[in-house]
């Protein structure tokens, strides 16, 4: 999986690659999913009862007024995504020449920095 982030204000670009773990109701690691669910506000948990996103909006406002789900058990529509970065390409567009660094994890999970040509 690759994530690209751009900050026009600081003139930086990040390209982050790594592994994505999808934790749904069938995944063995429910502890992290439950912890995140319990830390959501009531209004955030309630949004998981709303109609499917991206579908045509109906006139029925009751669809958005469901009871607040319990914080003891995540709804099946709640999926936790855990992104574990392994490589980072950081480009700073300020200055001349631009600065670019590659970061990667070594076997001991330490980040190693390598300056490269922009």
Domains in the chain: boundaries:
2-50+63-116
**Domain 2-50+63-116 has what CATH class?**
mainly beta
CA geometry: angle 8, 13, 15, nearest 5 deg: 145
Comparing 116 with 9, which gets the higher pLDDT? 116
Q: What is the average per-residue pLDDT within 81-88?
A: 95
Q: pLDDT, tens digit, for every residue of 51-79?
A: 777 777 776 666 666 778 888 999 998 99
E-state strands within the chain = 2-7, 12-23, 80-92, 99-105, 111-116
Q: What is the pLDDT of residue 63?
A: 62
Q: pLDDT, tens digit, for every residue of 5-61?
A: 888 889 999 999 999 999 999 999 899 999 999 999 998 998 888 777 777 777 666
Answer yes or no: are the C-beta atoms of 47 and 102 closer than 8 Å.
no
Answer yes or no: are the C-beta atoms of 7 and 89 closer than 8 Å.
no
């Amino acid at each position: 999986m690759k994530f690209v982030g751009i900050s026009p204000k600081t003139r930086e670009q990040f390209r982050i690659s790594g592994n994505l773990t999808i934790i749904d109701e069938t995944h063995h690691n429910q502890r992290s999913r439950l912890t995140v669910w319990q830390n959501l506000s009531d209004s955030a948990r309630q949004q998981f009862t709303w109609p499917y996103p991206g579908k045509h909006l109906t006139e029925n406002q009751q669809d958005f007024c469901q009871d607040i789900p319990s914080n003891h058990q995540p709804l099946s529509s709640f999926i936790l995504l855990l992104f574990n970065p392994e490589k980072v390409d950081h480009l700073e567009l300020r200055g001349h020449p631009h600065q670019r660094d590659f970061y990667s994890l070594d076997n001991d999970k330490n980040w190693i920095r390598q300056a490269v040509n922009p």
